[in-house]
Amino acid sequence: MEKSNLKTREIEKNEKITEENQKEESVKKTVKNTKKNVLIASAVILIILVLLALSVVFAIMNINNNNIVKGVKIEGIDVSGLSREDAKSKIESIYQDKKEKEITLKYNDYETTLSPQLLEVNYDIDKGIEEAVSIGKSDNIFINNFNIVKAMLGKNNIKIDMTINEDVAKQNIEEISANIPGAVTEPSYYIENDKLIITKGKEGIKVDNDKLIEKIKEQLKDINTAQEYIEIPVTEKKPEEIDIDKIHEEVYKEVQDAYYTKDPFTIHPEVEGVDFNVEEAKEQLKEDKEQYEIQLTITKPKVTTAQIGSEAFPDLLATYSTRYDGGDRDRTTNLRIACQKINEKVVLPGETFSYNQTLGVRSTATGYKNAKVYENGEVVDGIGGGICQISSTLYNSVLTANLDIVERKNHQFVTSYTPAGRDATVVYGMTDFKFKNTRKYAIKIKASASNGVATVSIYGIKEENEYTVSFSTRTVSTIPFTVKYVDDNTLAVGTEKVKQKGANGIITETYITKSLNGKVVSTKLLSKDTYNAMQRIILRGTKGAATSSSTDNNQTGTTTPSTPVQDNSNSQQPSDSSNNQQQPSNNNSENTGSTGETNNTNT
């Protein structure tokens, strides 16, 4: 028993010693860890203090640095270290190339393009540059350092905001929808004489406008894209049903005579009555046909704007005259037809007048004759020759009446009836002369061609400020004519004959000056015109030669042939052009004043 107790006490003693040793070791370990933690904490604090000091210095240095900090990119383009101006120049250059590169749109074999400039694409480069320059330059140095480090790590890529004119984009997409192969055809209608022509629709595809606009935006925004074209997204679509009630609502018009009121003065144009039997039309539409003809009931007004008394157009606003060769019967006939077509024509405020639309198709069926016209650089006979003299006369009268020109182009060559820069050519279906009545009241055109003088006048009501108009034209440069030789086997060898006289071409600038009460109000460029040189054509005789060949030789200026040249060229300058190449223009110094004046005559 005693032995057992002894053993127990020995064990307890050993356990106590072990416990004390463990406590001592724990204390030592704790002391050691404490020292270590103190050292680590001190080191961390020291590092933080050093970094803080460096960051303060770094931030201060960058605040005073006006250039963009290292690592900053704009849409992936590195602008590190660049000034605001240099960065803007670099970015603008890249985006300018983007603006000038057309977007190709494709659907199967169909392909078309869109111009970014047409879409009015706009990149807010200034905003992106400002954001790039401001990095590291705020009032908070911690934020500055964070952004600087972020930029250095390549994490600061600034985006450029981009916008396009979506209305314009949708208009262009609608055109694509209409032209794309297999496009859905919606029902349509038009009026031809006293018939309403309705065409049934056809199932097909339609461009997905929203998806395509998004694709266009993505390509315009991504300056790094290697994509060559955009696949046009389409959807299958069935055409709408023909809505005859809606068509009737759009077509129906109550007949109305033209009239005017004095207070306030307003012209109310005539309205031609149009109607059709809806129930009969519905019966016709039950037939399975591609096209339907519905009989219209047309009721003509008793009074038209052309018949309104002169008291509605009391004032002569402008008049202009040109001379022509009355002995040329065919050309004179064309001039008179043109005058008859535009005579008594009333143009309401805000309305646009079209010369081509008013005159209609030029053909023998409508009374027009063959007369001299320009074609492929030569004077030849053509239907309707001469009507450009009336459009040119009208043009000058319209300018003097202070109306806006909507469309106008000069002739291929300088005409003889108006100074350079003051002509207006027309080609049916291609080149038109249009003007808009921007005055407060309606105007009426009076036109006549008689005794070698063509006159176009404009009547209306004078406004509070009526401007006197004058013109001045300067020749910018001269284009020398060339000489063309053409072999002719009807002329004896060694004989030459002039088929067409040559004439130098010119480039002109015409200015329009407006004055009020004798004082100049404004002078501006009306047009810059290019008139081609008219080639001199000489026929060279080959009759009787051993071999006959035809050669063309072009030379600049005139020629001095060994045998006298017989000049049988037509000296009369035509007024019409079937091959117009020029842009709108103006002409020599001239003043039409408030009443106009007679111009140069046709030779």
Question: What are the structural domains of the chain?
Answer: 80-134+159-242 (3.10.20), 244-307 (no CATH), 310-577 (no CATH)
pLDDT, position 256:
94
Rg (C-alpha) for the chain, rounded Å, is 42
Query: Per-residue pLDDT averaged across 85-110, rounded?
Result: 87
pLDDT confidence band for 15 (50 / 70 / 90): low
Tokens 């309305």 belong to which residue? 351
Distance CA 121, CA 103 (A): 12
pLDDT for 82 beyond 70: yes
pLDDT, position 297:
97
Q: For 149, left (φ over 0), alpha (ψ -120 to 50), or beta?
A: alpha
pLDDT for 589 beyond 50: no
Q: How many residues does the chain have?
A: 603
Could you report the per-residue pLDDT of 318-377, keeping only the tens digit for each? 999 999 998 988 889 899 999 999 999 999 999 999 999 999 888 877 788 877 665 545
pLDDT, position 353:
96
What tokens does 446 get? Answer: 């009076």
Could you report the per-residue pLDDT of 137-157, keeping only the tens digit for each? 766 666 666 766 766 666 678
Whole-number percent of the chain with pLDDT over 90? 37
Whole-number percent of the chain with pLDDT over 70? 76
pLDDT, position 569:
47
Let me know: does 347 contact 353? Beta carbons within 8 Å: yes
pTM attached to this predicted model: 0.52
CA angle 142/41/45 to nearest 5° reads 30
pLDDT, position 12:
67
Query: Per-residue pLDDT averaged across 268-297, rounded?
Result: 94
pLDDT for 602 beyond 70: no
Q: Nearest Cα to 488, choosing from 477, 496, 480, 476? A: 496
* Lowest pLDDT segment from 183-197, 474-488, 556-570: 556-570
pLDDT confidence band for 522 (50 / 70 / 90): very high
| Longest pairwise C-alpha distance within the chain | 167
pLDDT, position 601:
26
Query: Per-residue pLDDT averaged across 395-416, rounded?
Result: 93
The one-character DSSP state at 306 is G
Distance CA 330, CA 189 (A): 39
pLDDT for 583 beyond 50: no
pLDDT, position 582:
34
Let me know: does 537 contact 376? Beta carbons within 8 Å: no
Tokens 């890529």 belong to which residue? 157
Let me know: does 534 contact 505? Beta carbons within 8 Å: yes
pLDDT, position 193:
85
pLDDT for 28 beyond 70: no
Let me know: does 565 contact 495? Beta carbons within 8 Å: no
Task: Give the bridge partners for 503, in sequence order.
Answer: 534
pLDDT for 255 beyond 60: yes
pLDDT, position 550:
43
Query: Per-residue pLDDT averaged across 544-571, rounded?
Result: 47
Average pLDDT, the chain: 81
* Lowest pLDDT segment from 53-62, 289-298, 360-369: 53-62
pLDDT for 408 beyond 90: yes
What tokens does 311 get? Answer: 């008291």
